Amino acid sequence: MKARRFLAHVPGLALAGAVAAVAYAAGRAAPIIGGPVFALVLGILVGLAPRPARFDPGQKTASKKVLQAAVVLLGFGMDFGQALRIGSSSIVVMLTTLCASFAIAFLASRALRVRGKAVGLIAIGTAICGASAIAAAAPAMDADDDETAYAISTIFAFNVAAVLIFPYLGRLLGLSPEGFGVWAGTAVNDTSSVVAVGIAFGPEALEAATVVKLTRTLFIVPVVLALSARTAWLARRPRAAGEEPRSGSSLGRGAAAFPWFVVGFVAASMLGTTGIVPAGAAKALASAGKALVLVAMAGVGLGVKPAMFKAAGWRPLALGLACWAAVACSSLAAQAALGRW
């Protein structure tokens, strides 16, 4: 049974790997663009062609599980002390962007007449960590599947945009590698996109971006706890006639969606920094992580379906754009105020 399940993922993983190999060669030829950008764009182009459903399981594994493995392996290339310094010194920037996302979501949703729990999900996804945060928050909010899909498709549009434009904007603004990394780590939604833009800007930017992004991811914990407490309180109120009681624990489901690979990243960083894993092996593992990023970005691209953006409509996209712009601008403003540009 396990062998059959594994074989079901082979076609999609092989396709993502083939796209990643072409992207790697293209990235070597045009390093200013970078392999991850090529992997995403090529994946989107290949994904537009009709393909059998047997490719889907491997494509989803590439965009999720392979990405998680890549982030853990990248930890071997991070100095834990440096990571701790960058993460702790960026808390003010993270809190600024968190507040900006929620404030703009509140105001823009009223101006755009966007209603329902999708508003909160879009704000959380933009402020914390994209689809992972939405997946963790949705059960805690008792959101419908349609609302969750709505929010994820909106967030995904800006993940794609970030990979394509952030490295160029960073150079245009004259950001330092660490400044760009902090900006990307706080203003780009999803982990895959953060890693991709970090690689495109350079090794120092990648380190800062990854650390800030994973530190930012930890905000899922208090957010899910708060949302779960609110949902539990609402569930205790008298129900309307015919309304069925909610089943299961939203807290448990939210915790299950928490990206635990963050713990693996921290552990890998500590193992590499302390020398428990020899320097040569740590470097090789970090390089393997960068290679897996290409496979993951190819998987993300292969999963793009133009129809999902059409189904979402323009209002949630406009709301997502407003939140994204607020987070990007407030991150830069906070860094400028702190003298860290």
Digit-coded pLDDT (tens) for 230-263 = 766 766 665 554 444 444 444 455 444 455 776 7
Residues of the chain with pLDDT under 70: 1, 32-33, 83, 132, 135-136, 139, 145-146, 149, 221, 231-232, 234-259, 262, 307-312, 340-341
Q: Where are the domains of the chain?
A: 13-47+66-235+249-337
CB of 162 closer than 8 Å to CB of 189: yes
Extended strands (E) in 8-165: none
- Positive/negative CA dihedral, 231, 234, 236, 241: negative
Q: How far is CA 227 from CA 102, 117, 137, 148, 268, in A?
A: 14, 12, 7, 15, 31
DSSP 243: P
The string of pLDDT tens digits covering residues 61-105 is: 988 788 788 878 988 987 777 767 777 778 889 899 999 999 999
DSSP 182: H
Q: Say how far apart CA 6 and CA 81 lie, in whole Å.
A: 38
